[in-house]
Structure 1
Amino acid sequence: MCELLGMSANVPTDICFSFTGLMQRGGNTGPHRDGWGITFYEGKGFRTFKDPNPSCESKIAELVQNYPIKSRAVISHIRQANRGAVNLENTHPFTRELWGRYWTFAHNGQLSGYQDLPELRHRSVGETDSEKAFCWLLDNLENRYPELPQDMVEVFNYIATLCDELRDIGVFNMLLSDGEYVFAYCTNHLYYITRRAPFGEASLIDEDVTINFQEETTPNDVVSIIATQPLTEDEVWYRLKPGEFTLFQFGEVISGNSNSLAHVAFAEAKPRSQAPTQALD
């Protein structure tokens, strides 16, 4: 299986800390040796770095770790191939245009019968079930909403129903972003943490790295990190349940099903002194 990493922030933020932990799972502390990729949104544009080689050995990954690209929305993925060869075209994340926006997608899991998913305007380039599912999602979106909708929460609620259909044919953990929103859908393994003031320290599980976010942030910063498995050992991560989805906008959870929203309401209602440790990337 693969692993996912996403970020949603209210200010341009680098993801070097979390990305460093994830890259170790790509062939060092984890078995995901079949490529990696990351997409950063900047305004209406994006930068994508991909490599079909193990991330723990990749010079490109090393560049990304040491080059603090700042973004409000990031999607990343490390691959353990199960559908399609190990090559660049099968390496996540995938990006396509819809309604004059770039949409980026990454998937963890395996789907059965995915070859039967119809393709219309959006076509697969590689051989993966993931890219096929992404094209199918976009075609369904375009068919339902020929023009850019005004209510994007409604759009993502509809995307959640499409994800439910895909979950019926296999494991479908997914991250999707258009640069403003970051959408997370869970079949079995997906966690997130929202970090805000008062900031503290956090230590990676996969690398001997600790950071004090108090030194890196302002009191107004809000950043949410989504990952297949928690990346830090001294923070409280919320685990999404099967069939649960969460929609982030500029770091905040703005929509989701009842369990996710209840978690956010509970966390916000607790006195600050009792709140889980929260921090930045």
Structure 2
Amino acid sequence: MCELLGMSANTPTDLCFSFTGLTRRGGQTGPHKDGWGVAFYEGKGVRLFHDPEPCATSAIAGFVSQLPIKSKTAICHIRQANVGSINLANTHPFTRELWGRYWVFAHNGQLPHFVRHVGMYEAVGDTDSEEIFCDLMNQLRQNLPRDAMPLQLAATLTRLAQEYAQQGVFNCLLSNGDWLFTFCTTKMASITRRAPFGPARLTDADVAVDFAAETTPNDVVSVIATEPLTSDEQWHIYQRGEWRLWQLGEVIASGQVEVPEYHNGQRL
């Protein structure tokens, strides 16, 4: 399995603290050593970094962890390969253009026998994750209007996510820069930090930060991860089939749908 990291904030915020914790799981404190990637939205643009090397020892990851790129929305993924070769084309997050915006997607799980619907979007690599993303984009393009509102999009995304979860483990992050959609089949957690801010310490690295010194009283920053990244904060643990739509650090819609239960990737 892989691990996910997402951020939604009401002000441009850097991901350095959370990213540092996640990278340790990419070959040091965890087995996710088969590549990594991160996407930072900057207005309508996206700044992307990908590397098929273990992120715990990647020089590029080390550079990014020290680079205070500020974004309101970010998506990161560290890979433990199950389907597809270990190469640059197969590193998440994946991106495609739809309705004049870059859409970014990262997936944790396996749908090894997945076959996408016919459409204009095709995979470049050979992962089931990218095939799912292309299928999702094809269905959005074919079934929704260009000016679909976020809640209308959320309803369609939830229906598709529920369908994918019938075929295998489907934990995902998806964004077009305006919002961040999160869906959980097996593992996901989130935390929203707002005033009064306090200190936090990473679980996977001897690193701590006092957010009170790094923020303003109006800041709202939410972090979503496969598993909690800090040891001294209270994280919300997603339930099976739970989804949330985030915008500017807040949950603007949420719900829970029925999905199969999986253990070690196998349906119970």
When normalised by structure 2's length, the TM-score is 0.94
Aligned pairs, number: 257
Q: In structure 2, how many angstroms separate the alpha carbons of the residues matched to 1:125 and 1:175?
A: 19
1:28 CA displacement: 0.2
Contact 1:42 1:71 (8 Å CA) reproduced: yes
Q: 2:38 touches 2:93 (CA, 8 Å); kept in 1? A: yes
**Structure 1 residues 51-74: Cα deviation after superposition (integer angstroms, max 9, x where no partner):** 000001101001101110000000
Q: Give distance in 2, aligned partners of 1:108 and 1:242.
A: 14
More helix by share: 1
Q: CA deviation at 1:249?
A: 0.1
Please state if 1:179 is matched with 2:177.
Answer: yes
Partner of 2:27: 27
Structure 2 residue 125 is the aligned partner of structure 1 residue 165: no
User: Which of 201, 220, 223 is matched with 1:222 structurally?
Assistant: 220
Counterpart contact for 2:241–2:256, Cα < 8 Å:
no
1:118 Cα shift? Answer: 1.8
CA distance in 2, matches of 1:67, 1:113: 39
Q: How does 1:12-161 map to 2 (within 5 A)?
A: 12-114=12-114, 116-149=115-148, 151-161=149-159
1:85-122 per-position Cα deviation (integer Å, ceiling 9, x unaligned): 000000000000001110000000001321x2223111
Listed one character per residue, the Cα deviations across residues 142-173 of structure 1 (whole Å, up to 9, x for unaligned) are 11114232x21111121011000000000000
Q: Secondary structure at the match of 1:169?
A: coil
Aligned-partner residue type, residue 18 of structure 1: S
- Other structure's SS at 2:56 match: helix
Cα 1:218/1:141, change in 2 over 3 Å: same
- Does 2:32 correspond to 1:6? no
What is the distance in 1 between the residues matched to 2:146 and 2:247? Answer: 21
Structure 2 runs not aligned, ≥5 long: 258-268
Return the alpha-carbon distance in structure 2 between the equivalents of residues 210 and 95 of structure 1.
32
**CA distance in structure 1 between the partners assigned to 2:256 and 2:69 by the alignment:** 34
**One-letter amino acid of the counterpart of residue 76, structure 1:** C
Shift, 1:180, TM fit: 1.3
Instruction: Give SS of 1:208's match.
Output: coil
Distance in 2 between residues matched to 1:17 and 1:157, nearest whole Å: 33
Q: What per-residue deviation string (whole Å, max 9, x for no partner) do you get for residues 194-233 of structure 1?
A: 1100000000000000100000000000010000000000
Work out the CA distance in 1 between the residues paired with 2:34 and 2:40.
21
Q: 1: CA distance between counterparts of 2:256 and 2:65?
A: 36
Local SS of the residue matching 1:107:
strand
Identity %: 56
* Alignment partner, residue 235 of structure 1: 233
CA contact (8 A) 1:99 1:147 kept: yes
Task: Spell out structure 1 runs of 4+ moving beyond 6 A.
Answer: none
Query: In structure 1, what is the Cα distance between the partners aligned to 2:102 and 2:147?
Result: 13
Structure 1 stretches of 5 or more lacking a match? 260-281
Q: In angstroms, what is the RMSD of aligned CA positions?
A: 1.0
Kept in 1: contact 2:243–2:256 (CA 8 A): no
Q: Aligned equivalents of 1:71 and 1:245: distance in 2?
A: 23
1:204 aligns with 2:227: no
Please state which structure has a larger fraction of its residues in strand. 2
Alpha carbons 2:201, 2:207 under 8 Å: kept: yes
